[in-house]
Amino acid sequence: MNFIQTAWRAIWLAAVCVAAGCARQAVEPAPAHPLVWDAMKKSASPKFEDGMARFEFHVTNTSKYPVKIWQIRASCGCTTWEAPRMPWTLAPGEKGTVKGIVDFRGKEGEIAKDLLISTVEGYQTLMMVIQVPLMDPAMRAQNQVLAAANRQAVFQGECAVCHAVPAESRFGPDLFEAVCGVCHQAKHQASMVPDLNVAKEQRDAAWWTRWVEEGREGTLMPGFAKKRGGPLDDSQVESLVEYLVATFPKEPKKN
């Protein structure tokens, strides 16, 4: 009885669906988007020192009616965009430009970032692909010499762009990636930079705090505390230490 009822219900629903055009809708291709871009994906191979890659996407409203871009969103905090004020209405045939700017400092290899364009007619995704180059070996060697003479030099002058400024308004894991990862998680990590995943001794919050705040005299490890000339205030240090204690091994591996 139950089975027959269920079967009838299924047949009834299928009939309603056909009448309403469900099947037809499923096979019709989606209409073309009225906004046509010169490319949906662009690539760049900037120089290491540039720190940022800039892109321009040119758009045309190919429809006979005005189209409104309500919002543009970037896929990452490292990406910003420039365009006319939102909502931005393009008249029929009107052209316009959206600029995308990707900050690739601290990133390595090929990276891809998106701009998401929202209109009533649907989302469009503009992709920016960047080949992030390695630092020139001569520059790297020179930086190491400067840091050997004064390990706090990384927070000063031009060095600050990559070693201090990225700390601004960051906490916890985000902060680690911005200011510690640059040395400790570089793919081609320098030989004098230790792997933090290997514990050589007991490591508690006090141990991590000392390393972060003071670093070590006579090495390339700088002191990050504001009172040492570093970029981090007390609450940033606290957030970082909480993350480090929770994430990395607390004692040496026993065999």
Residues of the shown chain interacting with ligand HEC in the complex, contacts defined by CB under 6 A: 49, 51, 105, 135, 140, 143-144, 146-147, 153-154, 158-159, 161-163, 179-180, 182-184, 186, 190, 192-194, 196, 200, 211-212, 216, 219-221, 224, 240, 244
Closer by beta carbon to ligand HEC, 113 or else 151: 151
Q: From the CB of 79, what's the least distance to ligand HEC, in Å?
A: 17
- Tell me, what DSSP letter sits at residue 32? P
CA angle 170, 171, 177 (to 5 degrees): 75
Closer by beta carbon to ligand HEC, 115 or else 221: 221
Closer by beta carbon to ligand HEC, 88 or else 208: 208
Closer by beta carbon to ligand HEC, 90 or else 240: 240
Contact by Cβ (8 Å): 125, 57: no
Q: From the CB of 176, what's the least distance to ligand HEC, in Å?
A: 6
CA angle 26, 115, 96 (to 5 degrees): 95
CA angle 206, 232, 151 (to 5 degrees): 85
Q: From the CB of 169, what's the least distance to ligand HEC, in Å?
A: 15
Closer by beta carbon to ligand HEC, 74 or else 193: 193
Closer by beta carbon to ligand HEC, 105 or else 226: 105
Strands, E, within the chain: which ranges? 35-37, 41-44, 52-61, 67-74, 79-82, 88-90, 95-103, 109-119, 122-132
Q: Which residues contact 93 (CB under 8 A, 6 or more apart)?
A: 60, 61, 62
Q: From the CB of 66, what's the least distance to ligand HEC, in Å?
A: 43
Q: Which residues contact 173 (CB under 8 A, 6 or more apart)?
A: 243, 247
Q: From the CB of 203, what's the least distance to ligand HEC, in Å?
A: 7
| Element counts in the chain: helices (H) and strands (E) | 8, 9
User: 234-247 vs 205-214: helix axis angle to the nearest 10?
Assistant: 130
Q: From the CB of 113, what's the least distance to ligand HEC, in Å?
A: 18
Beta pairing class for 122-132 and 41-44: parallel
